[in-house]
Amino acid sequence: MRRDKSKPVTLKTPDREDREGLDAAIAACRLRGAQITPLREAVLEALWFSERPLGAYDLRARLEEASGRRLAAPSIYRTLDFLCDQGVAARIESRNAYVACVRPEHDHACVFLVCEACGGAVEIENPKVEQLIGEDAKRLGFCVKHRIVEMSGLCAPCQQLT
């Protein structure tokens, strides 16, 4: 297949319709020996199927509505921390919100394009960017723990509105 050079080939729009990626994320955690409790699974599922990154309070409200029971805020935060540590979710600092990683089953730097207008976030995966950042860090003797890059701006549909 010939590819159109004018389009970024590494752009991945998450296909949130199917559960395959979600199941892969859960399997990846289990493979590392992490315990997936019902709450952890429910939180990851809510992030996976969300149309945009969710703040902890939005997330809690959604889960409470779905389950019909009250959830303590600290346990939501602990669960989010766990999912981020596992690399299956990421925190979008600029929006104080959380998003499920698109390719959780393999180790990579998450690069997010975050729309300032609608709050949507698309994850792109570009090995070149990752390599460059990695090389610079290595040169400085820096040990990288979290590899999350955020770029803010306007998504294509929102640009049409302005």
Using rule CB under 5 A, residue 47 touches Zn ion: no
How far is 45 from 63, CA to CA, in rounded Å? Answer: 10
Query: Which DSSP letter does residue 148 get?
Result: E
Stretch that binds Zn ion, among 44-52, 62-70, 138-146, 148-156 (CB under 5 A): 148-156
Q: In degrees rounded to 5, what are phi and psi of residue 11?
A: -70, 125
Helix locations, the chain, DSSP H:
20-31, 38-49, 56-67, 73-85, 127-139, 156-161
User: Of 24, 124, 148, 155, which lies in the binding site for Zn ion, with binding defined by CB under 5 A?
Assistant: 155
Using rule CB under 5 A, residue 149 touches Zn ion: no
β-pairing verdict for 121-124 and 110-115 = antiparallel
List the interface residues with Zn ion, window 73-102 (CB under 5 A): 101
User: Of 24, 84, 113, 118, which lies in the binding site for Zn ion, with binding defined by CB under 5 A?
Assistant: 118
Using rule CB under 5 A, residue 115 touches Zn ion: yes
Q: Which residues bind Zn ion (CB under 5 A)?
A: 101, 110, 115, 117-118, 120, 155, 158
